[in-house]
A and B are shown apart, each in its own frame.
Chain A
C-alpha cells in the first residue's frame, strides 16, 4: 500500500512579488510504501526542508501533486487541514518542539486530547507508547528536567501516539550526542520493524541515514539517486558516503 505519493512536485519561491525567483523543488517524484523507513539526503540547499514542509502541509506546492494515504493534500483547506495533520501525520523535529509548560506525559497525550479521545484510552496509549520508547519513568517530568535524548524520545512518542500514516522526522539527531542519537535511531528502527510504522527521515548525517532501509538523494531540487540497504548497517553507511562524495557536497559537514 502506498502511504506517500509525490508526483512531479515543483516549488518556486518569490515569483508572486516579482522579485528574484528561486526554484527549491524542480519536479520531484517518489513513493513511500507502508512500513518503509526512508531517508531523504542531500547537501544544504538541495530542497530537503522544502520537501518536508510541503509533505507536512505546512507549505503548498507550486505544481505537482502529493497524496498521503490516497488523499490529495492539495485539496484540503482549513480547518480540515488541522484534522488531517493530527490524524495522518506525526512530527519529530531537531529541537524537540515539546511544550515546556506540559509534562512529558501531557506532551505525548496532546494529539489524543486534540482528537477528543476518552481519558482511559489516552492514558493507556500514552503508557504503552512511552514504554516502547523507554521513557515510562520520566512521564511526570517537565522537558527542562530531562536530557536531550529523553526529550527527543518523548517527541517521537508524541509523533506516533496517534498511529499516524506517516511519521516525518526532520534531523531528529541534530541536537543529540552520539550515544543518544544511536538510542533514538534504534528506537525508530524498532518501531518501524515491529509496529510497521512508516517513517520519512530527513537528515544530512550519514550515520543517522544508515538506519534507514532506503535513501533518496536530492540535489538542486531534483531527485539524484536512490539506494537500498541490502546488507549490514556498516556496508550501507559506506555506500551512503560514496554517494555523498559523488554528490560533490562539502563532505566535512557530514561528519
Chain B
C-alpha cells in the first residue's frame, strides 16, 4: 500500500468529516465559475449600451471574487488541517517518516482540491445559465441567453483553483515539519490561558468607531470624487481598526463586567456560555471583526444597489419625460412618424406636442451654473411661452412640487415683465432665493429685464438640451415679440410624443429612429437629436442592472462565505469543548440545560458580529443617502435596506441554527 492509496483510503473512510471542507470549497469554485462564465460570455462583453463600463465593473468584481475565494479556500484549508493534527501526530508516533506523512497530506489535499474543482466547475456551468438570465432580466433586455459552455471560463476557473489548491496542499505538506510532535498531539489545547485585555485598547476602539461615524455624518458629500477619497479612507481605517480593537478589548471587557455581576452570572445558562466567550473571544477577534466588516460591506453594497435599482423606474421622467422626443422635425417627418407608430402597432399615441423654444443669454447677479460658481455670469439658456409650458405640464403629467427635477409649481398667469425661471442646475442652491430678483435677457444686442415670480428645477425635456441651461417662461405676448425677431438658428423645435406604454415601445422606437437617425444633429449635450423613454430606460438599466447584479452576486458570496466560516469555527470549537461538556454532564447538567447554554453562547457570538456589522452599515447607508441628493431624499433607501437586512438576517440565522445544532450534537455526543 503506497501513500497515495493511504490518502485515498483516508478520504473514503472519513468522508463525513471531509464533507464540510469539500462543500465549502466546491461552493467557492462554483461561484467563481459562474462569474467567469458570465464574464467571458460574448453577449455581455459586447453589450451595446455602456459596454466599456460594464466590462470595467465586471473586471473589478472578478478581482474581488478571486481575492475572496482565495481567502476562503485557504481559511477552510487551515481549519481542515487543524482538525487532523492529532491524526498526523499518531502516524508520526507509529513510525511513519515525516516525508511520508507530508506526502500523504499533500495527496489527500490535492485529491480533495481536484474533486472540488471538477464539481465546482460543472455546477458553475449548470448554474451560469440561470444567473445569466437574472442578469439580463435586471438589465431590462428581453433577449434569450444562448447557452454555451465558455471554454475560456472553464480554463480560467480550473487553472485558478489548481494553483490555489496547490498552495493549500503544500501548506498541508509542510505541517508535519513546522510543528513539534507534542504541539500536534495537543493541537486542541492551545490558548488555555485567560487572555489579557487592554483598557486603553477598549477605549480607543470606541473612540475610533465614533470618530469614523462622526466623519461619515458630517463630511461634505457634495464635493467631487477626489475630495471624498481622503475622508472615506480615514473612515475606513478608523472603522476597521476600531472594529478589531472592539472585539479584541472592548467586548471582552464588557463580558468581564457581566461576569462581575454574580447575580446574573451565577445562572445555569449564563455561567458556561459567558465564561467560554470570555475565554475565546480574543483569539477569535480577527475572525469576528472580519465577519462584522464583511456584513457591513455586504449590507451596504446590496442595499445601495438594490435601492438604486428600485429607484431607477421612478427616475425615468428626469431623463425622458416624453416617451419619444426629437428635435427639429418637419411636418412630413412628423406624419411619417405617426404612421410608423400605427404600423408597428405596439403602442398607442396618447398625446403629441410640437413646441419651440428660443436660444437666449441670461444674467442674474445671484445666479451661476453649478460647475462654474461665478455669480452674475452670462449663461446660455432659452425662453419659452407660458402656453407651451402649460401644454408640456399637461402632456407629460408633471407632478406639483417645488425645487424638484421632476416636478414644478408653475400655475400662475404671467404678466408682462414677469418670468418663471426654470433652472438647469441639478441642485436648488443657486435658484432658491431668486424669486423677486431681476433677470436680464440679452437677445440680438438688446437687454430686457424681467422679474422672477417663481423658480423650478423641472427638467421639462429631460436630458435633451437642458443640462446646465436655464429657461425663462414668459407671457405669450412677451414671447411672441422675441419669436418675431428670431432667426432660424435661434429657434429650436421639439416634437414630443407620449405612448400609453413607453416601457414596451422597443420596436416602435427602433422604427422611429430609422426615420429620424439618432445622429442628424449633434448640438445637444448628449449628441443625440431624439430621445426615447425606452432608449434611456435600456441604457440606464443595462448599466445599473449589471451594477445591481454584481452587488447582489458578491453580496450573496460574502454572506454565504461568512456564514460558513462562522459555522466552521463553531464546529472546531465544539470539538475542543467535548471534554468540558463531559465534565458538565457528570456534574449533572441536563441535555436541556446544555442546549440552552450552547444556544445562548452562539447567539452572543453570532449576534455580536451581526450587530456591529449592522451598526456600521446603518451609518454607511445614511452617508450614502446624502450623496444621492437627487434620489436619496425622495426614495426610501432605508426601506430597501430594511428588506436586504431582513433577508441577510434570515440567511445568517440559518447558519446560526445549523451551528447550534451541530454544536449540541458534538458536545452532547451519543445518547447515554
Of residues 649 to 672 in B, which have CB atoms within 8 Å of A's CB atoms? Answer: 671-672
Q: Is B587's CB under 8 angstroms from A85's CB?
A: yes
In this assembly, does B440 line the interface, its C-beta being within 8 Å of a C-beta of chain A? no
B255 to nearest A CB, angstroms? Answer: 12
Of residues 537 to 557 in B, which have CB atoms within 8 Å of A's CB atoms? Answer: none
Q: Is B275's CB under 8 angstroms from A106's CB?
A: yes
Chain B residue with minimal CB distance to A84? B588
Q: Is B593's CB under 8 angstroms from A114's CB?
A: yes
Q: Report the stretch among B259-267, B367-375, B413-421 that lies at the interface.
A: B259-267
Best-surrounded residue of A58, A85, A99 (most CB of chain B within 10 A): A99
In this assembly, does B90 line the interface, its C-beta being within 8 Å of a C-beta of chain A? no
Instruction: Write out the residue numbers on chain A whose beta carbons fall within 8 Å of the beta carbon of B590.
Output: 78-79, 81-83
Q: Is A101's CB under 8 angstroms from B589's CB?
A: no
Best-surrounded residue of A58, A100, A142 (most CB of chain B within 10 A): A100
Instruction: Write out the residue numbers on chain B whose beta carbons fall within 8 Å of the beta carbon of A78.
Output: 590-591, 671
Of residues 152 to 179 in A, which have CB atoms within 8 Å of B's CB atoms? Answer: 158
Instruction: Write out the residue numbers on chain B whose beta carbons fall within 8 Å of the beta carbon of A86.
Output: 587-589
Best-surrounded residue of A78, A81, A82, A98 (most CB of chain B within 10 A): A82
Q: Is B266's CB under 8 angstroms from A101's CB?
A: no
Q: Is A91's CB under 8 angstroms from B192's CB?
A: no
Best-surrounded residue of B583, B588, B590 (most CB of chain A within 10 A): B588
In this assembly, does A192 line the interface, its C-beta being within 8 Å of a C-beta of chain B? no
In this assembly, does A227 line the interface, its C-beta being within 8 Å of a C-beta of chain B? no
Q: Is B672's CB under 8 angstroms from A144's CB?
A: no
In this assembly, does A242 line the interface, its C-beta being within 8 Å of a C-beta of chain B? no
Instruction: Write out the residue numbers on chain B whose beta carbons fall within 8 Å of the beta carbon of A91.
Output: 586-587
In this assembly, does A116 line the interface, its C-beta being within 8 Å of a C-beta of chain B? yes
Q: Is B591's CB under 8 angstroms from A97's CB?
A: no
Q: Is A110's CB under 8 angstroms from B593's CB?
A: no
In this assembly, does A87 line the interface, its C-beta being within 8 Å of a C-beta of chain B? yes
In this assembly, does A56 line the interface, its C-beta being within 8 Å of a C-beta of chain B? yes
Q: Is A116's CB under 8 angstroms from B268's CB?
A: yes
| Chain A 108-151 near chain B by CB (<8 Å), digits 1 or 0 | 01110110100100110000000000000000001010000000
In this assembly, does A21 line the interface, its C-beta being within 8 Å of a C-beta of chain B? no
Q: Chain A contact residues (Cβ within 8 angstroms of B): what range? A: 20 to 34
Which of A87, A99, A122 has a CB less than 8 Å from the CB of B266? A122
How distant is the Cα of A79 from the Cα of B590 in the complex, in angstroms?
A: 6
In this assembly, does A254 line the interface, its C-beta being within 8 Å of a C-beta of chain B? no
B283 to nearest A CB, angstroms? Answer: 12
Q: Is B672's CB under 8 angstroms from A99's CB?
A: no
Instruction: Write out the residue numbers on chain B whose beta carbons fall within 8 Å of the beta carbon of A109.
Output: 266
Of residues 71 to 96 in A, which have CB atoms within 8 Å of B's CB atoms? Answer: 78-79, 81-87, 89, 91
Instruction: Write out the residue numbers on chain B whose beta carbons fall within 8 Å of the beta carbon of A101.
Output: 272, 275-276, 278-279, 580
How distant is the Cα of A79 from the Cα of B276 in the complex, in angstroms?
A: 24
B192 to nearest A CB, angstroms? Answer: 6
In this assembly, does A102 line the interface, its C-beta being within 8 Å of a C-beta of chain B? yes
Q: Is B267's CB under 8 angstroms from A113's CB?
A: yes
A54 to nearest B CB, angstroms? Answer: 12
Which of A114, A119, A123 has a CB less than 8 Å from the CB of B268? A114
Instruction: Write out the residue numbers on chain A whose beta carbons fall within 8 Å of the beta carbon of B267.
Output: 113, 116
A96 to nearest B CB, angstroms? Answer: 9
How distant is the Cα of A91 from the Cα of B584 in the complex, in angstroms?
A: 11
Q: Is B266's CB under 8 angstroms from A119's CB?
A: yes
Instruction: Write out the residue numbers on chain A whose beta carbons fall within 8 Å of the beta carbon of B266.
Output: 109, 113, 119, 122
- With A82-B593, A106-B271, A119-B263 given, is the CB distance from A100 to B588 under 8 Å? no
Instruction: Write out the residue numbers on chain A whose beta carbons fall within 8 Å of the beta carbon of B580.
Output: 99-101
How distant is the Cα of A208 from the Cα of B592 in the complex, in angstroms?
A: 38
Which residues on B are within 8 Å of A, measured CB to CB?
A: 192-194, 262-263, 266-268, 271-272, 275-276, 278-279, 580, 583-593, 671-672
Q: List 22 A-B contacts (CB under 8 A).
A: A58-B586, A78-B671, A79-B592, A82-B590, A82-B591, A85-B587, A85-B588, A91-B587, A99-B272, A99-B580, A100-B192, A101-B580, A102-B275, A110-B271, A110-B584, A110-B587, A111-B587, A113-B271, A116-B267, A119-B262, A142-B194, A144-B193
